[in-house]
Amino acid sequence: MLKQISAIIIILILTLGFPSRSQGATPRSTWVENEIYQYNHPFASQLPQELATKMQKMTASPFAFYRGTAHIFYRDMQTLPGSGFVNSPTSAIWLEGDMHMQNLGGMRDSNDNNVFDTTDFDEGYLGPYVWDLRRMAVSILLAAQENGFSSGDAQDIVRNFLDAYLNKISDFKGTNEELSYRLEESNTNGVVKDLIQKAAAKSRSSLLNKYTLLNSTSDRVFQTTSELQPVSSSTYWAIATAMSSYIASIPSSKRYSNSYYTLKDIRLKLGSGTGSLGKYRYYSLIEGPSSATDDDRILEMKQQNSSAVAIASPGLLPSSVYNNHEGTRVTIATKAMLSNTDPLVGYTTVSSIPFMLREKSPYQVDFDYTLLTTKSKFMDAMGYAGKVVAKNHAISDKDYDAGIVPASVDKEVTDITSGNKGGFKDEIVNFALDYATQVEYDYASFKDAYNRGVTLY
């Protein structure tokens, strides 16, 4: 069996062209199996079928495995060398936390701008700014090799991502441009522009038709499908009871009348995402702005647990900031890093479990990296990704809440990198090459364990 695993690993490395570098990626099968088990086992009693789906999804590719194992990445951030381009002010900034290509997308903000931006902040937490860049850089390498690009081309794409990040964060230094900055149809092209246009063309009626129907009394209710499952009467009651706490979590300036939040139906949502599979996710249908059935809203309720980033930087975000409530943490992170945030973003507790809520938007389209079929398409798209991450970091500093991040991140990052941008990019690229190789080793170990029927949750 060991010979088989070694053969798989050698084939992977030869195929992918990402040689192990100075930090020495290494097989660690037992450790990987244990990390996956320890992270997922707490959810095994609540949604074991969702964990089975998660494991199956993670077998698809090293990138899919990487999506589902942010906890392993941050376990490694505890022990791998730090960056030469981090100082005290840039060591504790807001991070998206799970920065990879499929946590970007086209969407419509609350001011009806159709934009390209970050879509998920479940792992939002404080840490060194380079962790978001490292995690995205590795995802670029893994997606590029999956799309058939050479290692050299993949590294060029990472460098373009980093160039865009550095240039945009430098643009923000000494200005307030970050507060109004957005990527929209007018200042994008290629795959990203197409994505924004695709999101803009979507409609509320299409979303409602996908998930709901009008019953015999012309009331709108959820459909029941393999992905939308009825909940027990006790769960329904618990969620209904928690709605008042959710409404109270929304600032009064953004809060609608109570009738807007009138609960009409609830379903358990199965099969969404990768990393979050195993945690409860509910769709709640609410009345919306009028009693008509064509403007109902769908709330997505996601169970939240401690951020994976906190594995590597425990206690860096004081629990008092988010009242020791993980749904509150994700709500704050979302508001910190997005402009014109969804006014339905909030949090509550259901049966002692923290949840974050937001609208299931009709106008959101996830990023599809398989469309990046040429180097120029990939370079363009990741240039925009670099600008998005720069915006995330710049608007969530003292501009958002100086009590959490007292520094100007755009100033600090610009000052610490401006004298040696080449060295900065080399450091991130070399890290990403090493770590992409480690992900491939870990993926091979995971897939072997999965095929042998090892208990992984």
pLDDT per residue over 275-317, tens digit each? 999 999 999 999 999 999 999 999 999 999 999 999 999 999 9
When pLDDT is averaged across residues 108-116 and rounded to a whole number, the result is 97
When pLDDT is averaged across residues 244-266 and rounded to a whole number, the result is 98
Element (H, E) at 413: helix 409-417
**Residue 438 pLDDT > 90:** yes
Which pLDDT score is estimated for 11? 32
Contact 115, 182 (CB under 8 A): yes
Question: What is the average pLDDT score of the chain?
Answer: 95
Write out the two tokens for 324.
Answer: 């020791």
Confidence category of residue 13, pLDDT binned at 50, 70, 90: very low
Q: 10-19, 220-229, 308-317 — which is least confidently predicted?
A: 10-19
Nearby residues of 52 by Cβ (< 8 Å), 6 or more positions away: none
Calpha distance 180→199 (Å, rounded): 20
Calpha distance 273→47 (Å, rounded): 14
When pLDDT is averaged across residues 239-249 and rounded to a whole number, the result is 98
pLDDT digits (tens, 9 = 90+) for 62-111: 999 999 999 999 999 999 999 999 999 999 999 999 999 999 999 999 99
pLDDT digits (tens, 9 = 90+) for 140-172: 999 999 999 999 999 999 999 999 999 999 999
Confidence category of residue 15, pLDDT binned at 50, 70, 90: very low
Which pLDDT score is estimated for 24? 80
Confidence category of residue 23, pLDDT binned at 50, 70, 90: low
Identity at 308, one-letter amino acid code: A
In 3D space, the residue among 73, 74, 51 whose CA is nearest the CA of residue 63 turns out to be 73
Which pLDDT score is estimated for 18? 43
Instruction: Note the pTM of the prediction, 2 decimals.
Output: 0.94
